[in-house]
Chains A and B, each alone.
Chain A
């Protein structure tokens, strides 16, 4: 259940950003979570609901965008299918994860004086 640690890091970051701008409230957070990031979105949102009380995020809605894993050949950009060997069948080089490992804070919507 590292999702609690992740929420803690998230709230701390939002707190720092809000303080820097003397925000009076935070309304919405937009985050991106990759399929291969190791973060369970359902556990993360539950952890967020529990953790946000009495923090800067108390009234902030959490908007999560899930990102599907996508492997590709770094040379020819051919997509490597789900469950396939992670090597390009043509170029014989190791595949690269093009997307799907994100644990990203994209945007904070806050109220400023």
Chain B
């Protein structure tokens, strides 16, 4: 009751929350991250537009790492399981997460996906996000690193137009560089300049999944993630 004037009205009280609206997603992401750390698994969240070459990069990665590293993938897809099929055919143990109308993966979907994947026996887990240059950037999944695939055919100004996505990227793979001879108006230096205006630590590798060009730097970077993970485990034990 309102005890100021005795009118019988109910009290309106302000409750200060000051918490992220996505706090429950973040808790689930922390839970996933804990699982990954326990098993020394490196988890990479791979994002990018539809057609940026995410699946092709993973196929090429599998070709190079076959027999040396155990690879797994969760592939987010609106309506099909085509990506997961392609990844499985390339030798990556894969599961599809069909999101229906959802434009992104969240930590809960990844957690559920893990229940259907023998992730404890893997060295790397690639989470291929839904093709979209906006929404996936907002959701923490528990990954060690965010990688964005940006095809040279998408145009030089994409980083400036989608700063939210690129700000979250630890690495940008500039894909389909085998097409550059056909694209006289696209220059890697211009893309690099745009990246440096939206990424505080700009890091990019131009690659071609088709020819294998530049893939060595990407594989070396993946190797470094694994070393960092191993050192962290040693340091904490």
| A residues in contact with B198, CB < 8 Å | 86
- Residue A108 lies at the interface, judged by CB distance under 8 Å to chain B: yes
Q: How far is the CA of A102 from the CA of B202 in the complex (A)?
A: 22
A13-B24, A86-B196, A111-B11 as given contacts; A2 in contact with B138, CB under 8 Å = yes
- Give the bracket for the number of chain A residues in contact with chain B: 35 or more
From B54-62, B86-94, B101-109, give the one contacting chain A. Answer: B101-109
- Residue B237 lies at the interface, judged by CB distance under 8 Å to chain A: no
A104: contacting residue among B1, B20, B25, CB under 8 A: B20
Interface string of A38-65 (1 = CB under 8 A from B): 1100000000000000000000000000
A-B contact count (CB 8 A): 108
| B residues in contact with A87, CB < 8 Å | 196, 200
Q: Is the CB of B200 within 8 A of A86?
A: yes
How many whole Å from B13's CB to the nearest CB in chain A?
Answer: 5
| A residues in contact with B135, CB < 8 Å | 1-2, 38
CB within 8 Å of A: which of B167-222? 167, 196-202
- Residue B234 lies at the interface, judged by CB distance under 8 Å to chain A: no
Q: Is the CB of A36 within 8 A of B163?
A: yes
How many whole Å from A77's CB to the nearest CB in chain B?
Answer: 15
Interface string of A1-43 (1 = CB under 8 A from B): 1100110011011000100010011010001000011110000
Q: How far is the CA of A96 from the CA of B14 in the complex (A)?
A: 33
Q: Is the CB of B138 within 8 A of A103?
A: yes
For A40, the closest partner residue in chain B by CB is: B134
For B201, the closest partner residue in chain A by CB is: A94
Q: How far is the CA of A96 from the CA of B94 in the complex (A)?
A: 36
| B residues in contact with A12, CB < 8 Å | 24
Q: How far is the CA of A86 from the CA of B197 in the complex (A)?
A: 5
Q: Is the CB of A13 within 8 A of B23?
A: yes
Q: Is the CB of B197 within 8 A of A36?
A: no
Q: Is the CB of A36 within 8 A of B21?
A: no
- Residue B16 lies at the interface, judged by CB distance under 8 Å to chain A: yes
Q: Is the CB of B103 within 8 A of A31?
A: no
How many whole Å from B199's CB to the nearest CB in chain A?
Answer: 7
Interchain Cβ contacts under 8 Å between A and B, 12 examples: A2-B104, A36-B167, A38-B137, A71-B200, A86-B196, A86-B197, A104-B20, A105-B20, A105-B21, A106-B16, A112-B12, A113-B1
